[in-house]
Amino acid sequence: MAGRSTAPLVLVGSQEFAAVYGVPARNTAQWIQRGLLDYQEAVIVSGRAYWPIGAAVAFGESAERPRTPDMAYVEQLVAEQAPGRSAKTALAVRAKDLPPIVGIQEVLALTGEDPTKGKLVTDAVTKGVFTSPDWRLSGSPLWLLPNALTGLDRMRERPKSRPLVVIPEVLAALENGTYDGPGSRVLTRGQRADS
């Protein structure tokens, strides 16, 4: 979970977003399909949307049929992801305030590893060589960019058959918020990751 950042970064994926309202995870996709929820307040990481907890709570107030968030669950998320922080400060964080966050696809792009062939990074994550994720949301690991870079440094320290190099242009794009490579768009069902 989060805990390496000084900001009260509390994020929700589609499963956690739905749980804020006590409904099945499929409801988040339905809200998006109906135009009730969009990605404007979300960050897109590895092809999935993640919202700051404040955006998830505000959704209930602005929905055409107002919904009441489960604030006990919100408090639980805050306690897990931003220990010692208040829900009030976590609710104030907006997507535009978030630092660079990456998932597996962005880490693969950083190293130039082909996601369909290479397994160096995914194996390191699976085997615990890579740094622990800052979040594990809706089943996916997410890292603050500096923590992912630390994970890549840890991988470099281990013997392997080929050198691991960070591509400077991808790093700069991730740092500047201009990254548009693999994982930068939400893929709808049936779309290929390379489209």
| 79 & 110 share domain | no
- pLDDT tens, position by position, 128-142: 889 999 999 999 999
Q: What is the domain range of residue 39?
A: 11-97
pLDDT given for residue 118 in this prediction: 63
| 91 & 121 share domain | no
Per the domain annotation, does 37 fall within a domain?
Answer: yes
Domain boundary residue, one of 97, 120, 139:
97
| 139 & 70 share domain | no
Per the domain annotation, does 114 fall within a domain?
Answer: yes
| 85 & 109 share domain | no
Comparison of pLDDT for 38 and 190, the residue scoring more: 38
Number of domains in the chain: 2
Q: At what angle do helices 104-111 and 168-176 cross, to 10 degrees?
A: 140
Burial of 184 (0-12, 13-18, 19+ CB in 10 A): middle
Contact call for residues 81 and 135 (beta carbons, < 8 A)? yes
- 69 pLDDT higher than 70: yes
* Reported pTM: 0.88
**Amino acid residing at 137:** L
| 19 & 89 share domain | yes
Per the domain annotation, does 118 fall within a domain?
Answer: yes
Per the domain annotation, does 33 fall within a domain?
Answer: yes
The position carrying tokens 């400077």 is: 168
Question: 3-state DSSP call for residue 179?
Answer: coil
| 70 & 135 share domain | no
The rounded distance, in Å, linking the Cα atoms of 64 and 66 is: 6
- 60 pLDDT higher than 50: yes
